[in-house]
Amino acid sequence: MNFTSRASHWMLLTLVLVIGGGAFYALKHRDKAPQQAEVIVKVFQANEVTRPQLKALSGQVDMSGVLIATELATVRSKVAGALMRLNVAEGQLVQKGQVLAELDVRDLISRTDERQAAVVAAQRNHQLSLVQHKANEDLVRQSFISETALAASQANLASQLAQLKAAETAQLAHSKQLADAAITAPFDGVVARRMVTLGEKLSIDQEVFHLVNPRRLEFKTMVDSAAGQFLKPGLQVQIQFEAVATPVQGRIDRIGPGNDLGTRALPVYVSLAEPVTTSSIRPGLMGLAHHVYALAQEGLTLPVAAVQEEGGKSIVWVIHDGILKRQTVSLGLKDAAGSHVYILDGIKASDTVLALRFEGLKEGLRVEVKP
């Protein structure tokens, strides 16, 4: 190989090494070169955004409550004594005047007999004093006794009459006690609770039974005081009770004069339109009633799905110039269907708002709405 060929060979080898070294350097330092941050754009479809609409909604008052008995009584013992008989059990139907329980009356019978004997003795004494007084009147007319003696006879007659009345009153009182030893039902109803046991020594005015009339019921509910302005006596409502397939027609009977001190809510009482004839409707049932009313004023509205609750505040997501922004809003009443709500403050009619709830949204996110 001549000199010229060797030189060409070495030059070619040098060129290959230079090119290879440059490529290796470029690959080595490629990751170290600054890269431009990638911009993330969130895409929403046209049906996923909305604008506030100016319109009037129909409102609805939701009334949840419980069915209560309007005719109920606590049956008490009117006399003291041992409970000898219990004739009814809890849940049993009873009729007005039916004997529910009986006390031991042997001591009462003995004392009543004593009072009867006292009445008989007082009647005899009164009759004797009456005969004597008439005789004394004849003697005074014949001047056999003085007027003073006649006055004493008159006083004795009055005393005997008073003793007779006292004896008769005592007899009546003991006779009433004897009758009260039989505890009776004050009206047709159901024994809701029994508070005594057989053989127990009862005191006067002790509770024995709780009695309710299951056919005389009303629906009691508590509503927000603001919603109370849309209710008035006479309004017809339908009540859906738990475990009862068919709604029950009702009528608002009365509204409390003020808010309950404990709940700050307004009590509303709804009477049932027809008497209860089925055992499935009974005291203690929970129920739900609605009253739909038309709202007169117009206002900005949004779908309820567009509003979220965060930290006790109501917020919506608004798109401004392609940027997502969290906006706090003040809410008004919902419509009857519960699908739209008045927005009192926080947005304008021209704002574009996300109509649905999305997870993982961040304020400042760049967004795009596609038709």
Neighbours of 220 (CB within 10 A): 17
Chain centroid, CA 48 distance in Å = 39
| Beta-strand pair 313-320/352-354 | antiparallel
Angstrom CA distances, 122 to 17, 51, 115, 126, 220, stand at 150, 98, 10, 6, 58
What's the predicted TM-score (pTM) here? 0.52
Per DSSP, the three-state class of 48 is helix
Q: Which helix (H) or strand (E) holds 329?
A: strand 323-334
Taking the C-alpha atoms of residue 357 and residue 323, their distance in angstroms, rounded to an integer, is 17
Please give the angle made by the CA atoms of 102, 105 and 106, to the nearest 5 degrees.
145
| Residue owning tokens 């008497």 | 275
User: What tokens appear for 182 in the block?
Assistant: 């039989």
Phi-psi region of 182 (alpha: psi -120 to 50; beta: other; left: phi over 0): beta
Check residue 210 and give its pLDDT: 94
What's the one-letter identity of residue 54? L
Check residue 354 and give its pLDDT: 94
Domains and CATH numbers, the chain: 46-57+297-370 (2.40.420.20), 62-71+213-293 (2.40.30.170), 73-194 (no CATH)
Check residue 9 and give its pLDDT: 59
Check residue 22 and give its pLDDT: 58
| DSSP H helix total and E strand total for the chain | 3, 24
Angstrom CA distances, 348 to 39, 334, 343, 344, 351, stand at 29, 18, 9, 10, 6
Taking the C-alpha atoms of residue 195 and residue 36, their distance in angstroms, rounded to an integer, is 83
Neighbours of 316 (CB within 10 A): 22
Residue-level pLDDT, tens digit, the chain, 371 residues: 454 555 565 666 665 565 656 555 555 555 544 454 566 788 999 999 999 999 888 878 889 999 999 999 999 998 888 899 999 999 899 999 999 999 887 776 667 767 777 778 888 888 888 888 888 888 888 878 888 887 888 888 888 888 888 877 877 776 676 777 889 999 999 999 999 999 999 999 999 999 999 888 999 999 987 788 889 999 999 999 988 888 999 999 999 888 887 778 899 999 997 776 666 788 889 999 988 887 767 889 999 999 999 888 999 999 999 999 999 999 987 887 788 899 999 999 999 999 998 888 889 999 999 88
Taking the C-alpha atoms of residue 20 and residue 98, their distance in angstroms, rounded to an integer, is 116
Can you list the alpha helix ranges (DSSP code H) found in the chain?
3-28, 106-141, 147-180
Question: Are the C-beta atoms of 48 and 319 separated by less than 8 Å?
Answer: no
Angstrom CA distances, 360 to 43, 123, 322, stand at 14, 100, 17
Question: Phi/psi of residue 270, each to 5°?
Answer: -115, 120
Check residue 75 and give its pLDDT: 95
Taking the C-alpha atoms of residue 219 and residue 291, their distance in angstroms, rounded to an integer, is 14
